Structure 1
């Protein structure tokens, strides 16, 4: 499945459809990206949805191909994990990230190399911050990744930005539909 996820990233690069507007910095050591969206919901509702990734994360960007297998334990040390169904009871699992900060209704911070970065020697920090705004909340999703990447970080950054921005837009859509 990692090869499949890596192929999605490479295909996005080749298609030239990757938005780069939110790549904050990139160098040989890694990159930093951020996206921001306004959600017409209260902080409690949005936080409650963030910690239920099975409801808003894209199945296309999961290891099992089904976002219903994703879960998050919203406490320090908790896991953003995924069940990998297997034949004859031979199920597996993936730890996408470990929660290092869970501040209800304000922010979630996770440590983990996401997607194809997990197969490399990379450390990543993903943070979702919820700030009250005049109408609903502003949610910022940032990701910082550093370490040895087999794909040049200058190519990887816009692909990761595209995938994470897609997830943030899905969060907004589900939240505003009453999720």
Structure 2
């Protein structure tokens, strides 16, 4: 992983952010359901990459595409996904470590399921099931769907969190789609 500073690296990072934001505006995003005790969100995009290539980018390049402002330690962090049952979606920064999610199901090129609470949901004692689903897209490419169902006890009304989590998930999926577009070609817009 190369660390680019200033010059072209700054322009590339800015371009990648714009591409991810453009994706977030054009992708299909939806709060599927929400209640005081939980919610389900789903985001989807079509990419030019094959399912195998999209899977590889998801698990092998997570440190390159995951938005740094949605990590515990920003640029100091390294992210990894171990795509096997019991594997870790983990973040490290020197002696600091965080386990974001645990892999519970891995079917390469089809489904990666992980459980746990991302970000502040973890500290709230909430749990969830997160899936990246890969399917052939009409007209070619791959549809990647990011689905996340969260629930558990909290004195807070979780339905209020659903739109925020939905936007964050769109940014995360947008990061993956932008990474694939840089590698493999343009992102196809939803119609």
| Deviation (angstroms), 1:156 | 0.8
Structure-1-length-normalised TM-score: 0.82
Q: Which runs of 5+ in 2 are unaligned?
A: 1-27, 185-191
Contact 1:84 1:94 (C-alpha < 8 Å) held by counterparts: no
| Deviation (angstroms), 1:151 | 4.0
Alignment match of 1:153 (pick from 152, 155, 158): 158
Contact 1:107 1:127 (C-alpha < 8 Å) held by counterparts: yes
Alignment match of 1:83 (pick from 83, 86, 92): 92
| Deviation (angstroms), 1:40 | 0.8
1:116 has 2:120 as partner: yes
Q: How many residues align?
A: 155
- CA distance in 1: counterparts of 2:130 and 2:164, whole angstroms: 15
Partner of 1:37: 45
SS at match of 1:121: coil
Contact 1:54 1:67 (C-alpha < 8 Å) held by counterparts: no
Structure-2-length-normalised TM-score: 0.77
Q: Which runs of 5+ in 1 are unaligned?
A: 1-19, 86-90
Alignment match of 2:131 (pick from 121, 127, 131): 127
Name the CA shift for 1:151/1:25 in 2 (closer, same or farther; >3 Å).
Answer: same
Extract structure 1 runs of 4+ deviating beyond 3 A: none
Contact 2:106 2:113 (C-alpha < 8 Å) held by counterparts: yes
| Deviation (angstroms), 1:145 | 0.3
Matching of residues 19-58 of structure 1 within 5 Å: 22-51=30-59, 52-58=61-67
What is the aligned-residue RMSD (CA, Å)?
Answer: 1.7
- CA distance in 2: counterparts of 1:58 and 1:75, whole angstroms: 23
- CA distance in 1: counterparts of 2:126 and 2:71, whole angstroms: 19
1:60 has 2:69 as partner: yes
Partner of 1:173: 178
Alignment match of 1:98 (pick from 98, 102, 121): 102
| Deviation (angstroms), 1:28 | 1.4
